[in-house]
Structure 1
Amino acid sequence: MTINGKVAIVGVGMSRFGRHLPDSQLALGAHALRAALDDAGLDRGDIDGLSLHMGWPLGADYDRIAEVYGLEVGYVHQSWTHGRFVTGALQHAAMAIATGMASVVACVTAISFTRERHILGGPGDHEGMREQGATHGENPVFGLTSPAAGAAFAMQRYMALHRVTGAQLAAVPVALRAHAALNPQALMKKPLTVDQHQASRLIVDPLRLYDCSLITDGAAVVLLTAADRARDLKRKPVHIAGMQGIRSGRSEFIFAPPNLGINQQPTARTAPPERDLAAYRMAGVARSDIQGFYTYDAFSPLVLFALERFGFCGPGEAAEFVQGGRIGPGGALPVNTSGGLLSEAHVCGWNSICEMVRQLRGEAGPRQIPGAALLQWGTCWGDSVILRS
């Protein structure tokens, strides 16, 4: 069984991005849905499936979405608003189509973080105070009561083990800001330097201001259908070539590479095991065929950890790997070419999925990867989707 060649993305749409926008989450999602339908040349009556990456307490649930947007659906998947579930939402949509449970599925996320900041950590964050850990890995038993704490905890250990410096980590936000400068929709376009990064205030040591994602409002919608139907629609289809699911177990911590030694993780770090290369096998491609890499960059270290997870470099080597503009515009492996969560907007990673589609359709303008035909989304917690033109 394989998904390769069976399902395609046929439309993408986004609302405007900003801070303290007057539009509600439902209104932002409606703008993105209309844009996606126009992009695909479809009508809302064509949608018979929903895969939501939102819901309580950060947004409306599936029934409200269907009611307000005038949809009649026979398939629903709903997950929490967290970057871990970007891939899952996309995969559920693809599997529903491949198994005949739906013919057109809309993946929807709509975010109003500037209205819901109490959900993200600090006083009033009931999720973050759950004893057995909340959706971002928070666990007050270990002093981890905000999303940034987990990433900082992992990065501290990584820096100590591999003698990495904060100046090396700065290469990640600097590169993504350079991508954002080429993106009219990005909120942060002003060039960023290593010195500016190092002079910015600490948020949670060693993470500085520019290592943490933007807090913004916005929405994105991605439409999927069967590959044979996709050929007759308005835009060039982008096919799902391979995918693999999220990893979990004692070797894992969501904000760290495997076996770094956080919580119950072992400490013997090795090259990626075969199970973490499943997406390449399903797609019938090699890692070296990937022309651009996209990941959930809520915090700069997650980019390093994801690059190591999929073997673009060895354990402890990512901080050196990203130097010299390698992941920036024109680099050997461009990463998050729209600017990502660090510089474009925080739309839970869906802005990067939309960007991958634009790249594979050759519509990315000055930030276009020449001849883009094979791109990968993958996170440090092990899930991945490979898209091809």
Structure 2
Amino acid sequence: MTFDLRGQAAIVGVGSSAFARRLPDSASSLAAAALRGALDDAGLHRDDVDGMITHMGTPLGVDYDQFAAYAGLNLRYAAQFWLHGRFVTLSLQTAAMAIACGMADTVACVTSVKFLSVRGALGGEGDHEGLREGGGSHGEDPAFGLTSPGGGAALFAQRYMHEYGVGTEILRDVVMSSRAHAALNPAAIRREPFDWEAYANEPGFIDPLRRADCAQINDAAIVLILTSADRARDLAKSPVYVRGMQGIRGGPDEFIFAPRGFGIAQQGVTDWPAEKGPRQAFEMAGVSNADIDGFGTYDAFSPLVIGALERHRYCDPGSAHRFIADGQIAPGGSLPVNTSGGLLSEAHVGGWNTIAEMVRQMRGEAGERQMPRADLMHWGTMWGDSVILGNEA
């Protein structure tokens, strides 16, 4: 027996702090500012919130119990996940399921980050998380020397370039599309003009990645508020419904920075037919790729955009680079991607800034970067998870 979650919950409030490389505020203060903004956006009071999902704990962010006390929230449902972008979907899913099951009426999804204040470089000696020493899940595969997430993304890019006979222009085009979106976004950190020469002059990171291929490290907070579809219709803003969703994939042939069976880290080299790809979110939402107006994805590294487009069937394997080079993901393209600039150009908030942008696009609040049509938006990552949002339940 299955439970129909389609359209049972809706996003009704969006709030954010300022985005900057360094901010004087504490993680709790940033999260509180974002929470106030989200409550005001929804026309709600903090006493209306009885559920909370935190997508990052201390020391980088806020723990659910401490932040509930700090913000004066009285919760009957709470959960907490790691920051990493693979858990954006899980957080939204958990909030939607809690509402649909009656475990909470109104849930705040809270993410706050203070990257530079409390953490040095990812990877290498002393990175307990990267070495899987009880510090979280961002050691992609330390047995293969991949203690930094950039290592996995670089391996995927190298293999993709070899497999399909392309060069680093495939990465440059992703970055240039991201900067083109960010140039229209006053909140973005990286808004300066960017061209091929600027990309070529960027310092190297892990071959073939350059600095511009990597998300920025910054301080920021985002809060999204979800409630039931019935209640959402009576609130201040037009609701954005959770139409479809599916979870993170795992297994011997899964690696978060490469397509399934692509031969990276522990993966085998397996020809997985496209029809075996994850489609649960589309089936739940009752839509197809052709219905989607815009796409959001976790772009901590530029190669991830290429992999996500192919995994979710917007492009055939080995063809996403041509789709991107033709301008299809840039402003005015057939499938705008990460229209705020994403992690590469707007800010690194674990992917939540992109979800917030999708909601603003669907409500017609994106200003100069507003898409002409934004009725259905899809968040999907390289590792297979998805959320499809719609203006109708």
Q: What is the distance in 2 between the residues matched to 1:314 and 1:133?
A: 37
Residue-by-residue CA offset, 1:161-192 (whole Å, 9 max, x unaligned): 11121012211010010000000100111121
Q: What is the distance in 2 between the residues matched to 1:133 and 1:232?
A: 43
Structure 2 SS opposite 1:114: helix
RMSD over aligned Cα atoms: 1.5
Tell me by how many angstroms 1:118 deviates. 2.3
Structure 2 SS opposite 1:331: coil
Query: Which of the residues 22, 26, 30 maps onto 2:32?
Result: 30
Q: Which amino acid aligns with 1:171?
A: D
Structure 1 SS opposite 2:117: coil
Residue-by-residue CA offset, 1:305-326 (whole Å, 9 max, x unaligned): 0001101111111112211211
Q: Which amino acid aligns with 1:243?
A: M
CA contact (8 A) 1:119 1:127 kept: no
Query: Which of the residues 104, 107, 125 maps onto 1:105?
Result: 107
In the alignment, structure 1 segments of 5+ residues that lack a partner are none
Query: Which of the residues 244, 247, 252 maps onto 1:245?
Result: 247
CA contact (8 A) 1:131 1:141 kept: no
CA contact (8 A) 2:27 2:60 kept: no
In the alignment, structure 2 segments of 5+ residues that lack a partner are none
Tell me by how many angstroms 1:379 deviates. 0.4
Q: Does residue 194 of structure 2 align to residue 192 of structure 1? A: yes
Q: Which amino acid aligns with 1:363?
A: E
Tell me by how many angstroms 1:365 deviates. 1.1
CA contact (8 A) 1:7 1:225 kept: yes
- Tell me which residue corresponds to 2:308: 306
Q: Which amino acid aligns with 1:150?
A: G
Q: Which amino acid aligns with 1:173?
A: V
| Cα gap change, 1:157 to 1:284, in 2 (>3 Å) | same
Q: Which amino acid aligns with 2:229?
A: A
Residue-by-residue CA offset, 1:60-83 (whole Å, 9 max, x unaligned): 311101100000001111101111
Tell me by how many angstroms 1:274 deviates. 4.3
Q: What is the distance in 1 between the residues matched to 2:352 and 2:274?
A: 26
CA contact (8 A) 1:47 1:73 kept: yes
Query: Which of the residues 160, 163, 170 maps onto 2:162?
Result: 160
CA contact (8 A) 2:128 2:135 kept: no
Structure 2 SS opposite 1:96: helix
CA contact (8 A) 1:137 1:147 kept: yes
- Tell me which residue corresponds to 1:386: 388
Q: What is the distance in 1 between the residues matched to 2:134 and 2:318?
A: 29
Q: Which amino acid aligns with 2:345?
A: S
| Cα gap change, 1:13 to 1:248, in 2 (>3 Å) | same
- Tell me which residue corresponds to 2:364: 362
Q: Which moved more, 1:331-340 or 1:315-324?
A: 315-324
Q: What is the distance in 2 between the residues matched to 1:62 and 1:32?
A: 15
Tell me by how many angstroms 1:132 deviates. 10
Q: Which amino acid aligns with 1:388?
A: G
Q: What is the distance in 1 between the residues matched to 2:184 and 2:300?
A: 20
Tell me by how many angstroms 1:270 deviates. 3.8
How many residue pairs match? The answer is: 389
Q: Which moved more, 1:363-372 or 1:298-307?
A: 363-372
CA contact (8 A) 2:141 2:265 kept: no
Q: What is the distance in 2 between the residues matched to 1:213 and 1:112?
A: 14
Q: Does residue 75 of structure 2 align to residue 39 of structure 1? A: no
Q: What is the distance in 2 between the residues matched to 1:291 and 1:367?
A: 14
| Cα gap change, 1:165 to 1:131, in 2 (>3 Å) | farther
Structure 2 SS opposite 1:225: strand
CA contact (8 A) 2:254 2:267 kept: yes
- Tell me which residue corresponds to 2:141: 139
- Tell me which residue corresponds to 2:288: 286
Q: What is the distance in 2 between the residues matched to 1:269 and 1:166?
A: 25
CA contact (8 A) 2:277 2:312 kept: no
Structure 2 SS opposite 1:32: helix
- Tell me which residue corresponds to 2:22: 20
Large movers: runs of 4+ above 2 Å: 56-60, 116-124, 130-134, 136-141, 268-275
Structure 1 SS opposite 2:326: helix
| Cα gap change, 1:137 to 1:164, in 2 (>3 Å) | farther
Tell me by how many angstroms 1:284 deviates. 0.3
- Tell me which residue corresponds to 1:277: 279
Q: What is the distance in 1 between the residues matched to 2:325 and 2:376?
A: 23
- Tell me which residue corresponds to 1:371: 373
Q: What is the distance in 2 between the residues matched to 1:340 and 1:122?
A: 26
- Aligned-residue sequence identity (percent) comes to 58
Structure 2 SS opposite 1:9: strand
Q: Which amino acid aligns with 1:307?
A: L
Q: Which moved more, 1:60-69 or 1:30-39?
A: 60-69
Query: Which of the residues 267, 284, 289 maps onto 1:265?
Result: 267
Q: Does residue 122 of structure 2 align to residue 130 of structure 1? A: no
Q: Which amino acid aligns with 1:225?
A: T
- Tell me which residue corresponds to 2:211: 209
Residue-by-residue CA offset, 1:292-349 (whole Å, 9 max, x unaligned): 0000000000000000110111111111221121100000110000000000001110
Q: What is the distance in 2 between the residues matched to 1:28 and 1:56?
A: 13
Q: Which amino acid aligns with 1:324?
A: D
Tell me by how many angstroms 1:267 deviates. 1.7
Q: Which moved more, 1:187-196 or 1:246-255?
A: 187-196
Q: Which amino acid aligns with 2:99?
A: I
- Tell me which residue corresponds to 1:117: 119
- Tell me which residue corresponds to 1:181: 183
- Tell me which residue corresponds to 2:11: 9
CA contact (8 A) 1:8 1:230 kept: yes
Structure 1 SS opposite 2:274: coil
Structure 1 SS opposite 2:205: strand
Q: What is the distance in 2 between the residues matched to 1:199 and 1:269?
A: 37
Q: Which amino acid aligns with 1:251?
A: D
